[in-house]
A and B are shown apart, each in its own frame.
Chain A
Amino acid sequence: MFIRKLQTAAWLMAAAPVLMGLSWLVDRPPEVRAAAALPALPTSFTRTQALIKPRADESQVERIPWKESLWEARLQAAAEGKPIFIWVTGGPPGGC
């Protein structure tokens, strides 16, 4: 239930820039880092780990640029002329 609500929120947040004529909300992909040359892990382990972790199309909530500090959110909202969407959670969004 919570994740579905967050998925809806994620979709609407993506749509909001279109509604509001703003482009800054487009989520830029994380900076690509040069991967350290680490020895490979056993295939059986990586396969199981991949089964547990989110697929590329899952856990959209992780991509939202959340502010954890209400004060930081408030300062940015005032400076940029935007409202604040607050999600009251029991931990990181998408969890409890």
Chain B
Amino acid sequence: MIPATFNIFYQYSNQVKCDGADGKFAKPLNLAANSECLLVTADGRVLARGGGAGSAGVILKNGLKKWQELPEAERKPGAVQIAPPRERPKIAPLPPPPGGLVLAVYTRNLKRDDKGELAHITPEDIKDKTRYPSWDIAYTEPTRDNLWLSEAEWKSLLPAEPRKGDKFPVPAGVRDRIFFYHLWDLTQGGLEHPWERRHLRAGELTLTVEETTPQVRLRLEGSVRFAGGDPKADAKTQRGFEARFHGYLDYDPQKKTIARFSFHALGECWCAGSGDSRFVRPGRAPLTMGFELASGDKPIDRMAPAAFGVSGGVSADYGGRYFAADK
């Protein structure tokens, strides 16, 4: 089978606007429910669909059975004739900015071990539902998102004449994109409480030149603190997240490319931070985000950030709030 994703938050609105062959295929599928999965034929017949815990396996099994029950003449290669679209379909996703950078973003819940060191949460740990309420998988594996930087933005991170010891702030647009769109707790599957400017209590990100040859190495440092939520809520339920940043950017001046860009935000959240209230761990819980230059080898490396759905959309020319986070 051919595995495909559909981003409900920004492709769905385009699906609604579809006409012609584009709309004839997409609209009847009504891809409107987050985390739903479907098995469909190339001409749009639904073999199985559903959502909820454990549904993917059921959909695959039931759908493949239905597929095998179709006449062979309908299943063979070329049985469905489709002409390639003459123009970019409305439901087509936006690719990463030309000449830009994509960083994989991993969000992960951690714990403190007996020595106070950060450690992975284990399947044994999550049996304690007081310490780890609700979904198990939210605690034991990281989630994946992507951070997009345009060519102009990543070049703005590089000093024109790097000198050891020089320190300068990360440009506001890049800083605020990281702060407001990539410090959410995506392990809990919810985008209901994204951090907003009114929640920001403090934050800074700087780059310091560590080396100038053979590569330019910049050290990234900083901190951020978010707090608040519903202003009418009890102070005990005021959620928050604070973290310290640490990382490195290596620039190859010969190739004029960023060879490495790795950093993380080591933090703690309370009252479930930006996440769902079902996941309130006692006290302050370690929550981390790791950013790493994506290799581009995998399709997931080219997918749009989750923030596109929350930031008010993004235009075909890479406008929109995601690309103007500091405005």
* Residues of A that sit less than 8 Å from B by CB: 1-6, 8-9, 11-13, 16, 19-20, 25, 30-31, 33, 36, 38-39, 41, 45, 48-49, 51-54, 58-59, 61-96
Contact = CB atoms under 8 A, between A and B. Distances in A.
Contact of A85 (B2, B29, B303): B2
A68 B259 CA distance: 27
A61 to B, nearest CB: 8
B200 interface: no
Interface residues of B, number: 103
Given A13-B1, A59-B144, A70-B26, A96 B189 contact: yes
Interface of B: 1-9, 22, 25-26, 29, 31-43, 47, 53-57, 59-61, 63-64, 67, 75-82, 84-85, 89, 91-93, 106-108, 110, 118-120, 135-138, 141-146, 186, 189-191, 211, 215, 217, 246-248, 250, 252, 259-260, 262, 264, 266, 288-290, 292, 295, 297-300, 302-309
* A31, A54, A92 pick with most chain B CB within 10 angstroms: A92
A81 B168 CA distance: 56
Given A45-B247, A91-B305, 20 more contacts: A3-B143, A4-B54, A5-B35, A36-B259, A41-B248, A45-B262, A51-B110, A53-B142, A59-B144, A64-B300, A71-B84, A78-B82, A82-B1, A82-B42, A83-B2, A83-B39, A83-B63, A85-B59, A91-B304, A93-B144
A79 B141 CA distance: 36
A62 B144 contact: yes
A7 B235 CA distance: 39
Contact of A66 (B26, B138, B299): B299
Contacts of A80: 2, 77
B199 to A, nearest CB: 19
